[in-house]
Structure 1
């Protein structure tokens, strides 16, 4: 199969960029022919005129449509898989595909098509106002990067294509990463029959190297951005209640990093490489993910499952779909430091249950999140629109 993958890279490299690369590599490893059309936001113009032109083309870029048509005519793909078109490629990619009679699949990595801020969060709290209401509400709050002008540009794009029926009529199939994410897009008016579910995946860390022996005593591990939406303040409050019962190691960086220095029983390791994170996951007793936003699809959870690492996560959004309470870990009430502390203490006090969770985690990984399972699911989606 010949697949044209389309992706607008972000200025700060994130998980989505890695998913695109992994998916392209997965397809090629099975003999499919992949051409990757990428543009990079690092190359966006910094002068006022350039920024103005970018803003004007966010809703619809005729220049990008011409480039898309050239690529489609030259490559002649069987299918186009769009990962991110914002802001440079724009939804004009759909019209190019329609013109060349090539079906389109679009992965919904975040909530950009229904929320100008992309994360359904405002002022540190969940916000769903734009799902059923006007996206222009985001302008008042400056939901896109704290900028009212930037929010106006994105809100106009969302509103225009919602009103024009773009999402309903110009995309053959959407890929949501979880059942929860699908429910939010359906709530926003996306056709339920056009949304398939396919999670992200990782390679098995134990394919080449045997797992290491667990550290004794173990520790709790947090991996990710040290910021408010990740529930860091709740995490610190909870650990202050454990009275030294369990060490917490934090691998990552972010705006709240300095505030964690010198706190008893919490060690901030800074940013760590994937191989270093793998070692930490093999040594830890459980992973903690106290996020206070819905999350798109936190790959760190799948990494934990792959390492047989139980998870203690917020009972919220996509985490509800990935972690099975009482099977692969425990869920706690979001923002509730007392509940988080109680659940962490229970895990420490029940090592036999931790072992059971660990075995279940590996089983769930093998059932749902391997590269082979992902390839099979992706081919089923592609064939459904061909």
Structure 2
């Protein structure tokens, strides 16, 4: 039996984000099938390391095959560790597992140098990478959003230098290094066509990236809803996510304020509930933004409860202002059979086409109009619910993953000479 090592930039037991959740669900499903599989996560940086680790502790064990490494932070531009000793022990830990397949779900906290050295040490192993965002293309957290907040449509050394204030030659060199890093992998995966196209526009050859949507385990079966239930749900809207500037929660609150000012114009009450964020957390980021009465903060929730909670709403809103590749909240909404109101960019536009209402990203007026267009409309809610298709299950994901990972890399990949970093 071959051994698979799944490597993520974070661990969902410490932080709940789409990439690490997808990686961990893959691990759990393979483990349930009796496969020889390990999961390796990391802390995000010095802050989380200080919170969860003792002074000299390097690893947390959540089980005999489930580990979280101590991340000390790294250079986001080069994707390298500042000190070679930090790279050394991560490399040695991964090497000691002697995997036949290494599936990386990010470079962050693991390091480009770690991957180069592991590739050199294990030339017969198969290396796979899922591209969850645009880090290899964009040095601004992989979001392709300019410092001004304007969306970026293509990377170039001049435009990137104006955004991040480094010499253009730095971006030429970074692009070369990132392409060489990606060429070390036997297979590249993307959860969306949008992300695949972005990388091809950047210079990766067509066919180099296989598209496989992230798998999701979810409760099945739906109870038929009465007309009264549909009417009630048509006035209930919800947000699931984090209070980060790019998630667009401020756009949603501004839209809710516009709706509140117009509430006399409609008879049915409208409720907007925020899951994953409390009022204090919101106020820390947007202290001057007044929250209208129709908004209610529900705080944290257990990820395994998300789908069932979503079933209690008529519409889930995803107002992110960056490109978002394949947000897990979209898959969860599909599993719940609950339609979405989504920003019209990136993976959000792709993943909600046909069963979601889309609005111009970053525009509170457009979002308010989208919400009011379906508010109190049980007929419209039923029509959109009927178009929701279930997401790819973990069984389907692993089946597709095994099919891709078994293939010969072919001529689309030409591995450069691998040299370990010295220091």
Deviation at 1:202, TM superposition (A): 1.8
Deviations 1:238-288 (A, max 9, x none): 333433352211223244465566513222222333355444311111111
* Contact 2:344/2:360 (<8 A) preserved: yes
Partner of 1:222: 239
- When the two structures are superposed, what TM-score results if normalisation uses the length of structure 2? 0.73
Partner of 1:28: 31
Pair 1:189-2:171 in alignment: no
Pair 1:347-2:349 in alignment: no
Deviation at 1:329, TM superposition (A): 1.8
Number of equivalent positions: 363
Q: Unaligned stretches of 5+ in structure 1?
A: 142-151
Kindly report which structure 2 residues correspond to 1:77-96, keeping only aligned pairs within 5 A, or say none: 77-96=99-118
Deviation at 1:79, TM superposition (A): 1.7
Partner of 1:14: 16
Name the CA distance, whole Å, in 2 between partners of 1:323 and 1:249. Answer: 21
Name the CA distance, whole Å, in 2 between partners of 1:210 and 1:158. Answer: 56
Name the CA distance, whole Å, in 1 between partners of 2:100 and 2:153. Answer: 36
Deviation at 1:317, TM superposition (A): 0.5
Q: Unaligned stretches of 5+ in structure 2?
A: 56-70, 410-423
Kindly report which structure 2 residues correspond to 1:267-282, keeping only aligned pairs within 5 A, or say none: 267-274=296-303, 277-282=306-311
Partner of 1:149: none
Question: Using a 3 Å threshold, how does the CA distance of structure 1 residues 169 and 42 change in structure 2: closer, same or farther?
Answer: closer
- When the two structures are superposed, what TM-score results if normalisation uses the length of structure 1? 0.80
Deviation at 1:201, TM superposition (A): 2.6
Secondary structure, counterpart of 1:81 in structure 2: strand
- Higher relative CO (Cα under 8 Å, sequence separation at least 6) belongs to 2
Cα RMSD (Å): 3.6
Name the CA distance, whole Å, in 2 between partners of 1:233 and 1:53. Answer: 29
Deviation at 1:89, TM superposition (A): 3.4
**Residue number among 74, 80, 83 corresponding to 1:59 in the alignment:** 80
Question: Using a 3 Å threshold, how does the CA distance of structure 1 residues 33 and 276 change in structure 2: closer, same or farther?
Answer: closer
Pair 1:171-2:193 in alignment: no
Question: Using a 3 Å threshold, how does the CA distance of structure 1 residues 277 and 70 change in structure 2: closer, same or farther?
Answer: closer
Secondary structure, counterpart of 2:384 in structure 1: helix
Deviation at 1:158, TM superposition (A): 8.7
* Contact 1:6/1:85 (<8 A) preserved: no
